[in-house]
Amino acid sequence: MAGGTRSSGIAIIGSGVAGLHLALLLQKQQIPVTLYSDQTAAQLASGRMLNTVAHHNTTVQREEALGVDHWDLTEYGYFCHHHYLGGPQPLSFPGAFRAPSRAIDYRVYLPRLLADFQERGGDFRAGPPVGPEEIFPLSQRHDLVVVATGKGGASAMFPVIAAKSPYTRPQRRLSAGLYNGIAPSHPRGVTMSIAPPHGELLEIPTYSASGHVTALLFENVPGGDTEVLADAKYDEDPAAFDRLVFEKLRAHHPEVFERVEVKRFGLTRPEDLLQGAVTPVLREDYVTLPSGRVVIALGDAHSLVDPIVGQGANSASYSAWELGTVIAEDQIFDERFARKVAARRADRVQAISDWTNLMIALPPAPHLLQLLGAMSQSPAVADEFTDNFNAPERQWDILATPERTSAFLARHGM
């Protein structure tokens, strides 16, 4: 992929949401850009499920600005979170957004945005993954190289920030799938169900190639009763797999289970299942090559988070927008430029990393449990927590320390 004639402009490695949003923004700004990917649009559309991503309204607003707002929120959006905290005395309560979010299967979403980029004259090149050894040659042919993917090993160029990367192994084992036979919640929203000490479930209304379906993301604590979902083999016995998911819903997530239509329930397609685990990590924003050129980290190459609060793609989109804004302001791509990029996006990206890491900590932090309990008593607290999914730095203002949580609750008279 690194071969070819001399080029210029910005090279973006990776055609996920970070790479595409940056490419579309630079294209809008009439800044030359080349987008490199290890998959064509057809391969993206036909592959295994990539994630269970939801875009919060701040990301939707960026899509509107980029001219890629193809999914009307009235039909494709959702409007709230439904919280369920299991235990001896279960708690159940809603939290409302001020503006809707939406979840589109990335096998629908990414090819559509790639088509937008190409139809507008964008330079897209598909080939083998770009490895670290190809970064230097690319940097000689482009004014700036941006690594916007965790694939291919190029992310290892960027040193890990140890103080922001507290885990050396995954804290949850994941089972994510698209399912038929679950009636939507009312109002339409995401259910965030916590089943101590076994893990969490996110139930997300999603649009996929199969139409409107339900994504179930099981966040399984190692050693817990639901961990088996991360290992179960759908292909070996689809009916047994569906029964297993059904039984774990019944045992641990009753508010989702009560909306299951037994005769219709099951995984939509074999390729609509993703099992694995994530070790969260935050890396440095850039590296300087021996030549003096800088290479910028973006998306999963920069910040990799557990999906428990659905912030990874939103962080990637935000970070891409901030990077693109700095590029438009300053096209001298030296270390000063790279430091400006780092400063521009640091607060939100780091807040997302810190907040997510708090949410998966075991045992749960007492002040997090204090906040969740307060949410069950105060709709205003629940609504603010929910809407802060659009402003993770404000969420971290509340949760960074027990003192901050207490002060926030005191402001609400609690």
Decide if domain 10-54+105-167+279-359 falls under CATH 1.20.1090.10: no
Mean pLDDT of 85-112: 97
Q: Look up residue 355 and give its amino acid.
A: W
Mean pLDDT of 278-284: 98
Sequence-ordered strand ranges (E) for 23-90 = 33-37, 77-85
Q: Which residues of the chain does CATH 3.50.50.60 include?
A: 10-54+105-167+279-359
Tell me what pLDDT residue 142 has. Answer: 97
What pLDDT band is residue 411 in, cutting at 50, 70 and 90?
very high
Per-residue pLDDT for 4 more than 90?
A: no
Helix (H, G, I), strand (E, B) or coil at 69: coil
Q: Look at residues 67, 288, 24, 63 and name the one whose alpha carbon lies nearest to residue 159.
A: 288
Per-residue pLDDT for 5 more than 50?
A: no
Mean pLDDT of 183-199: 97
Per-residue pLDDT for 292 more than 60?
A: yes
Residue 195 near residue 249, CB atoms below 8 Å: no
Q: Look at residues 125, 174, 136 and name the one whose alpha carbon lies nearest to residue 305.
A: 174
Query: Strand 33-37 to strand 123-126: parallel, antiparallel, or no bridges (unpaired)?
Result: parallel
Mean pLDDT of 105-128: 97
Per-residue pLDDT for 2 more than 60?
A: no
Rounded-to-integer distance, Cα 18 and Cα 113, Å: 12
CATH class of 173-277: alpha beta
Mean pLDDT of 164-177: 98
Q: Which residues of the chain does CATH 3.30.9.40 include?
A: 173-277
In DSSP terms, 295 is beta-bridged to: 145, 287
Per-residue pLDDT for 168 more than 60?
A: yes
Helices 392-399 & 402-411 angle (0-180, nearest 10): 100
Per-residue pLDDT for 58 more than 60?
A: yes
Mean pLDDT of 103-132: 97
The mean predicted confidence, pLDDT, of the chain is 96
